[in-house]
Protein backbone atom coordinates (compact mmCIF):
# COMPACT_ATOMS: atom_id res chain seq x y z
CA UNK A 1 0.00 0.00 0.00
CA UNK A 2 2.78 2.45 0.86
CA UNK A 3 4.38 1.80 -2.54
CA UNK A 4 1.15 2.83 -4.25
CA UNK A 5 0.88 5.98 -2.10
CA UNK A 6 4.47 6.92 -2.93
CA UNK A 7 3.84 6.35 -6.64
CA UNK A 8 0.66 8.43 -6.59
CA UNK A 9 2.14 11.18 -4.40
CA UNK A 10 2.30 13.92 -7.09
CA UNK A 11 -1.33 13.25 -8.09
CA UNK A 12 -2.50 13.05 -4.50
CA UNK A 13 -0.79 16.35 -3.67
CA UNK A 14 -2.18 18.06 -6.79
CA UNK A 15 -5.75 16.95 -6.08
CA UNK A 16 -5.37 17.94 -2.42
CA UNK A 17 -4.24 21.45 -3.40
CA UNK A 18 -7.14 21.86 -5.85
CA UNK A 19 -9.62 20.68 -3.22
CA UNK A 20 -8.17 23.06 -0.62
CA UNK A 21 -8.45 26.01 -3.03
CA UNK A 22 -12.09 25.17 -3.76
CA UNK A 23 -12.94 24.70 -0.10
CA UNK A 24 -11.21 27.94 0.91
CA UNK A 25 -13.02 29.89 -1.81
CA UNK A 26 -16.31 28.79 -0.27
CA UNK A 27 -15.15 29.47 3.27
CA UNK A 28 -14.27 33.03 2.22
CA UNK A 29 -17.43 33.63 0.18
CA UNK A 30 -20.20 32.16 2.33
CA UNK A 31 -19.75 34.53 5.29
CA UNK A 32 -19.82 37.41 2.79
CA UNK A 33 -23.15 36.12 1.46
CA UNK A 34 -24.37 36.00 5.06
CA UNK A 35 -23.41 39.67 5.49
CA UNK A 36 -25.59 40.64 2.53
CA UNK A 37 -28.34 38.31 3.71
CA UNK A 38 -28.37 39.70 7.26
CA UNK A 39 -28.18 43.33 6.19
CA UNK A 40 -30.37 43.49 3.09
CA UNK A 41 -32.91 40.68 2.97
CA UNK A 42 -36.26 40.35 4.73
CA UNK A 43 -37.68 36.91 5.53
CA UNK A 44 -39.47 35.56 2.46
CA UNK A 45 -38.61 38.37 0.04
CA UNK A 46 -36.97 37.75 -3.33
CA UNK A 47 -33.47 38.56 -2.10
CA UNK A 48 -33.89 36.19 0.85
CA UNK A 49 -34.94 33.39 -1.50
CA UNK A 50 -32.10 34.10 -3.94
CA UNK A 51 -29.45 34.19 -1.22
CA UNK A 52 -30.80 30.98 0.32
CA UNK A 53 -30.41 29.21 -3.04
CA UNK A 54 -26.89 30.58 -3.49
CA UNK A 55 -25.86 29.62 0.06
CA UNK A 56 -27.33 26.13 -0.24
CA UNK A 57 -25.67 25.42 -3.59
CA UNK A 58 -22.32 26.79 -2.44
CA UNK A 59 -22.36 24.50 0.60
CA UNK A 60 -23.86 21.43 -1.09
CA UNK A 61 -22.09 21.41 -4.44
CA UNK A 62 -18.76 23.15 -3.83
CA UNK A 63 -17.79 23.36 -0.17
CA UNK A 64 -19.08 19.93 0.90
CA UNK A 65 -17.35 17.91 -1.84
CA UNK A 66 -14.22 20.08 -1.61
CA UNK A 67 -13.94 19.59 2.15
CA UNK A 68 -14.35 15.83 1.80
CA UNK A 69 -11.74 15.70 -0.98
CA UNK A 70 -9.41 17.88 1.12
CA UNK A 71 -9.67 15.45 4.03
CA UNK A 72 -9.40 12.28 1.91
CA UNK A 73 -6.38 13.40 -0.10
CA UNK A 74 -4.83 15.08 2.93
CA UNK A 75 -5.03 11.82 4.87
CA UNK A 76 -3.55 9.95 1.91
CA UNK A 77 -0.63 12.39 2.05
CA UNK A 78 -0.28 11.80 5.78
CA UNK A 79 -0.02 8.06 5.20
CA UNK A 80 2.46 8.42 2.33
CA UNK A 81 5.86 7.30 3.66
CA UNK A 82 8.39 10.05 4.24
CA UNK A 83 5.99 12.99 3.95
CA UNK A 84 5.25 13.75 7.60
CA UNK A 85 7.91 14.09 10.27
CA UNK A 86 5.93 13.21 13.39
CA UNK A 87 8.77 14.35 15.65
CA UNK A 88 8.23 17.95 14.45
CA UNK A 89 5.57 20.36 15.69
CA UNK A 90 4.13 21.37 12.29
CA UNK A 91 1.94 18.29 11.66
CA UNK A 92 0.13 18.95 14.92
CA UNK A 93 -0.38 22.68 14.33
CA UNK A 94 -1.65 21.94 10.83
CA UNK A 95 -3.96 19.19 12.07
CA UNK A 96 -5.42 21.44 14.76
CA UNK A 97 -6.00 24.25 12.26
CA UNK A 98 -7.68 21.87 9.78
CA UNK A 99 -9.95 20.54 12.52
CA UNK A 100 -10.84 24.11 13.50
CA UNK A 101 -11.47 24.92 9.81
CA UNK A 102 -13.84 21.97 9.64
CA UNK A 103 -15.58 23.22 12.77
CA UNK A 104 -15.96 26.64 11.15
CA UNK A 105 -17.47 24.95 8.08
CA UNK A 106 -20.03 23.25 10.33
CA UNK A 107 -20.75 26.56 12.09
CA UNK A 108 -21.49 28.06 8.66
CA UNK A 109 -23.83 25.16 7.86
CA UNK A 110 -25.76 25.85 11.08
CA UNK A 111 -26.01 29.56 10.22
CA UNK A 112 -27.41 28.71 6.79
CA UNK A 113 -30.09 26.57 8.46
CA UNK A 114 -30.95 29.56 10.67
CA UNK A 115 -31.47 31.72 7.58
CA UNK A 116 -33.55 28.96 6.00
CA UNK A 117 -35.87 28.87 9.04
CA UNK A 118 -35.97 32.66 9.28
CA UNK A 119 -34.18 32.49 12.64
CA UNK A 120 -30.95 34.36 11.98
CA UNK A 121 -30.05 36.51 14.98
CA UNK A 122 -26.56 37.61 13.97
CA UNK A 123 -25.81 40.96 12.41
CA UNK A 124 -23.73 41.58 9.31
CA UNK A 125 -20.89 42.87 11.50
CA UNK A 126 -20.57 39.47 13.22
CA UNK A 127 -20.39 37.72 9.85
CA UNK A 128 -17.72 40.20 8.72
CA UNK A 129 -15.65 39.34 11.79
CA UNK A 130 -16.17 35.61 11.29
CA UNK A 131 -14.98 36.03 7.72
CA UNK A 132 -11.47 36.45 9.16
CA UNK A 133 -11.44 32.99 10.78
CA UNK A 134 -10.53 31.04 7.62
CA UNK A 135 -7.80 33.57 6.81
CA UNK A 136 -6.10 33.11 10.19
CA UNK A 137 -6.40 29.32 9.97
CA UNK A 138 -5.07 29.32 6.39
CA UNK A 139 -2.00 31.29 7.51
CA UNK A 140 -1.34 28.75 10.28
CA UNK A 141 -1.77 25.83 7.88
CA UNK A 142 0.45 27.25 5.13
CA UNK A 143 3.19 28.32 7.51
CA UNK A 144 3.05 24.93 9.24
CA UNK A 145 3.51 23.03 5.99
CA UNK A 146 5.92 25.34 4.17
CA UNK A 147 8.07 26.76 6.96
CA UNK A 148 7.59 23.65 9.14
CA UNK A 149 7.72 25.60 12.39
Round to whole Å and give the CA distance between 21 and 40: 29
Question: What's the pLDDT score for residue 1?
Answer: 76
Q: How many CB atoms lie within 10 A of CB 104?
A: 17
Cβ-in-10-Å burial (0-12, 13-18, 19+) of 26 comes to buried
Nearest 5 degrees, angle CA 144-CA 66-CA 14? 60
The dihedral of CA 96, 63, 21, 29: what is its sign? negative
Question: What's the pLDDT score for residue 2?
Answer: 76
pLDDT in tens, the chain (149 residues): 779 999 999 999 999 999 999 999 999 999 999 999 999 999 999 999 999 999 999 999 999 999 999 999 999 999 999 999 999 999 999 999 999 999 999 999 999 999 999 999 999 999 999 999 999 999 999 999 999 97
Question: What's the pLDDT score for residue 128?
Answer: 97
Nearest 5 degrees, angle CA 13-CA 135-CA 84? 35
Q: Which residues are CB-neighbours of 20 under 8 A, at least 6 positions away?
A: 66, 70
Question: What's the pLDDT score for residue 98?
Answer: 98
**Number of alpha carbons in the 13 Å side-chain half-sphere of residue 12:** 17
Round to whole Å and give the CA distance between 1 and 111: 41
Round to whole Å and give the CA distance between 119 and 111: 9
Round to whole Å and give the CA distance between 148 and 135: 18
**Where exactly are the structural domains of the chain?**
2-146
Amino acid sequence: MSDILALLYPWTKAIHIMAVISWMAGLFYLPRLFVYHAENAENGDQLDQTLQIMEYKLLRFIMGPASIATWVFGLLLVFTPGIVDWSAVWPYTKALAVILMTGFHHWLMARRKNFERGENTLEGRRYRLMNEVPTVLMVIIVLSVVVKF
